[in-house]
């Protein structure tokens, strides 16, 4: 009599919580709690400051979920496509905040927030990564070639603001054509961004693709990844509307200037969780990945988000977002690029260099603190 083959026990079905993982569950909780508090205070007509803070917390959670979703899908489709998806989806909260702020006429907040996002990533977050990573591991070493490519494109981002500002000044050749030159420059930047997509997918040197570090058994089904991205996009659109509605009265009650609100508060709120992830990688001594996460976020803002919002503002009507910035913001960007290039040029950093980046960010933030406060509507 033939021996009977023992049946293979079926693998136990994992719950949704087990599939998502602890990090994603924490982000979902942050987004839900923050969103519900923001909605409740908005409907009750209570303190706009609470609505503003709660919606900022919800946006941070939603930004983190977008990052989780794109990384999970990128783990299936390759690191090059992951970078492209993060370029397209990683700044969704900032995009929605920008659109609703433009509709509300908060041009200074939008422009300051976009430039502030570049400054926060390139100075504050990168400085924290180098400082904390250097304190823990000593001298941090990383690949020079990709960083030099990022530095080159950041110089272009500064030029995209410097040239329109100088060319449209009184007496300059393009005086009176601020909007026209801004639109032309925005189209050029978007073309460059489009040209970088196949370069990123092929994973060429300096493409800045982000490798996925996935725990064993933590991969999501494709349907779940797509569903999380759709839910996070819808949530970002809703919460961004509440965030902008509460922005002016909340900051007016706190006596905060419009420039400081955009340059620091709104800029950090748009991608807080993504920045934390970059610092975490530095603490784990994954310095190349940390720099890629942090600085590529700056490039996405410079090459895609800023020009996209310039063109969107033209379509929306009303005040138009231009690429003409104040001398202070242009000088801050220029100094950021110069200091960053000096620090990363040799392929290594120390905690003191990280502290120098943080110090420059604090000085820039302090320079807009004393501006005129936002007036309550």
Block mean pLDDT (10 aa), the chain, length 377: 54 66 83 91 86 87 77 61 58 80 83 87 90 90 78 82 86 82 91 74 47 52 80 83 84 79 79 68 81 79 89 86 87 88 85 94 89 61
| Residues belonging to the chain | 377
**8 Å CB contact between 347 and 147:** yes
Phi, psi of 132 (to 5 degrees): -70, -40
pLDDT in the model for residue 10: 52
pLDDT in the model for residue 155: 84
Determine the straight-line distance between the first and last CA of the chain, rounded to whole angstroms.
89
Q: For residue 161, how far is the Cα from the chain centroid?
A: 19
* Nearest-angstrom CA–CA distance, 168 and 163: 8
Query: Apex CA 54: angle with CA 306 and CA 273, to 5°?
Result: 55
3-state SS track over the chain: CCCCCCCCCCCCCCCHHHHHCHHHHHHHHHHHHHHHHHHHHHHHCCCHHHHHHHHHHHHHHHHHHHHHHHHHHHHHHCHHHHHHHHHHHCCHHHHHHHHHHHHCCCHHHHHHHHHHHHHHHHHHHHHHHHHHHHHHHCCEECCHHHHHHHHHHHHHHHHHHHHHHHHCCCCCCCCCCHHHHHHHHHHHHHHHHHHHHHHHHHCCCCCCCCCCCCCCCCCCCHHHHHHHHHHHHHHHHHHHHHHHHHHHHHHHHHCCEHHHHHHHHHHHHHCHHHHHHHHHHHHCCCHHHHHHHHHHHHHHHHHHHHHHHHHHHHHHCCCCCCCCCCHHHHHHHHHHHHHHHHHHCCCEECHHHHHHHHHHHHHHHHHCCCCCECCCC
* Nearest-angstrom CA–CA distance, 294 and 122: 7
pLDDT in the model for residue 352: 93
**8 Å CB contact between 209 and 74:** no
CB half-sphere exposure, 268, CA atoms < 13 A: 14
**8 Å CB contact between 117 and 271:** yes
pLDDT in the model for residue 205: 43
Counting other chains too, the contacts that 166-173 makes at CB distance below 8 Å and 24 or more residues apart are 168/324
- Give the list of residues 6+ apart from residue 162 with CB closer than 8 angstroms, or none: 330, 334
**8 Å CB contact between 128 and 277:** no
pLDDT in the model for residue 274: 60
* Nearest-angstrom CA–CA distance, 183 and 310: 7
**8 Å CB contact between 118 and 336:** yes
Name the β-bridge partners of 96: none
Work out whether the CA dihedral 283, 287, 293, 298 comes out positive or negative.
Answer: positive
pLDDT in the model for residue 273: 57
**8 Å CB contact between 307 and 190:** yes
pLDDT in the model for residue 309: 92
């Amino acid at each position: 009599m033939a021996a009977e083959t023992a049946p293979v026990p079926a693998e136990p079905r994992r719950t949704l919580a087990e599939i998502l993982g602890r990090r994603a569950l924490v982000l979902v909780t942050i987004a839900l709690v923050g969103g519900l508090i923001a909605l409740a205070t908005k409907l009750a007509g209570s303190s706009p400051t609470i609505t503003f803070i709660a919606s900022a917390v919800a946006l941070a959670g939603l930004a983190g979920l977008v990052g989780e979703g794109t990384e999970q899908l990128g783990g299936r489709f390759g690191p090059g496509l992951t970078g492209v998806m993060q370029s397209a989806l990683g700044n969704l909260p900032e995009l929605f905040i920008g659109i609703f702020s433009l509709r509300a006429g908060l041009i200074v907040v939008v422009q300051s927030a976009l430039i502030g996002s570049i400054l926060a990533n390139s100075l504050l977050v990168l400085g924290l990564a180098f400082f904390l990573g250097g304190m823990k591991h000593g001298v941090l070493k990383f690949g020079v070639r990709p960083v030099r490519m990022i530095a080159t494109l950041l110089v272009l981002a500064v030029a995209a603001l410097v040239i329109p500002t100088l060319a449209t000044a009184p007496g300059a050749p393009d005086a009176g054509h601020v909007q026209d030159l801004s639109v032309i420059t925005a189209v050029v930047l978007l073309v460059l961004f489009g040209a970088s997509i196949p370069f990123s997918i092929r994973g060429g040197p300096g493409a800045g693709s982000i490798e996925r570090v996935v725990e064993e058994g933590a991969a999501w089904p494709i349907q779940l990844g797509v569903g999380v991205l759709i839910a996070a996009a819808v949530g970002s659109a809703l919460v961004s509307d509440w965030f902008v509605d509460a922005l002016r009265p909340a900051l007016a009650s706190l006596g905060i200037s419009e420039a400081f609100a955009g340059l620091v508060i709104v800029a950090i709120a748009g991608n807080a969780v993504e920045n934390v992830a970059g610092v975490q990688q530095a603490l784990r001594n994954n310095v190349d990945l940390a720099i890629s996460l942090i600085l590529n976020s700056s490039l996405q803002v410079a090459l895609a988000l800023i020009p996209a919002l310039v063109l969107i503002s033209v379509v929306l009507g009303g005040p138009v977002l231009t690429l003409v910035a104040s001398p202070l913001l242009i000088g801050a960007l220029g100094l950021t690029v110069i200091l960053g290039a000096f620090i990363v040029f040799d392929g290594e950093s120390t905690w003191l260099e990280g502290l120098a980046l943080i110090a420059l960010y604090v000085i820039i933030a302090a320079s807009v603190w004393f501006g005129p406060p936002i007036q309550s509507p």
